[in-house]
A and B are shown apart, each in its own frame.
Chain A
Amino acid sequence: GAVVSQHPSRVICKSGTSVKIECRSLDFQATTMFWYRQFPKKSLMLMATSNEGSKATYEQGVEKDKFLINHASLTLSTLTVTSAHPEDSSFYICSARIGGSGNTIYFGEGSWLTVV
Chain B
Amino acid sequence: AQRVTQPEKLLSVFKGAPVELKCNYSYSGSPELFWYVQYSRQRLQLLLRHISRESIKGFTADLNKGETSFHLKKPFAQEEDSAMYYCALNFGKSTFGDGTTLTVKP
Interface contact A46-B45, CB-CB below 8 Å: no
In the complex, which residues of chain A have a beta carbon less than 8 angstroms from the beta carbon of B90? 103, 105
Would A107 and B94 be within 8 Å (CB), given that A43-B86, A43-B99, A44-B86 are in contact? no
The tally of residues in A whose CB lies under 8 Å from a CB in B reads 19
- Using Cβ atoms and an 8 Å threshold, which residues of chain B touch A104? 46, 49
The residue that B96 contacts in the complex, of A44, A49, A108, A110, with Cβ under 8 A, is A44
Q: When chains A and B are docked, how far (Å) is the Cα of A46 from the Cα of B86?
A: 14
Q: Which of B43, B93, B97, B99 contacts A108 (CB 8 A)?
A: B43
Interface residue B98 (Cβ < 8 Å from any Cβ of A): yes
Q: Decide yes or no whether B81 CB sits under 8 A from chain A.
A: no
Least CB distance, B80 to chain A, in whole angstroms: 19
- B32, B43, B96 — which one has the most chain A CB atoms within 10 A of its CB? B43
User: What DSSP secondary structure best describes chain B's contact surface?
Assistant: strand
Beyond A42-B98, A43-B98, whether A107 also contacts B44 by CB under 8 A is yes
Please tell me if the beta carbons of B32 and A103 are within 8 angstroms of each other in the complex.
yes
Q: Are A46 and B94 neighbours in the complex by a CB distance under 8 Å?
A: yes
Whether A43 and B45, one on each chain, are in contact in the complex, defined by CB atoms closer than 8 angstroms, is no
Q: A93-B43, A107-B43, A107-B44 are in contact. List 16 more A-B contacts (CB 8 A).
A: A1-B46, A34-B93, A34-B94, A41-B99, A42-B98, A43-B86, A43-B98, A44-B86, A49-B93, A93-B44, A95-B94, A104-B46, A104-B49, A106-B46, A107-B45, A109-B42
- Residue numbers of B with Cβ under 8 A of A are 32, 36, 42-46, 49, 51, 86, 90, 93-99, 101
**10 pairs of A and B residues whose beta carbons are closest in the complex:** A107-B44, A109-B43, A43-B98, A103-B90, A44-B96, A43-B96, A107-B43, A49-B93, A43-B99, A103-B32
A residues sitting closer than 8 Å to B (CB atoms) are 1, 34, 41-44, 46, 49, 93, 95, 102-110
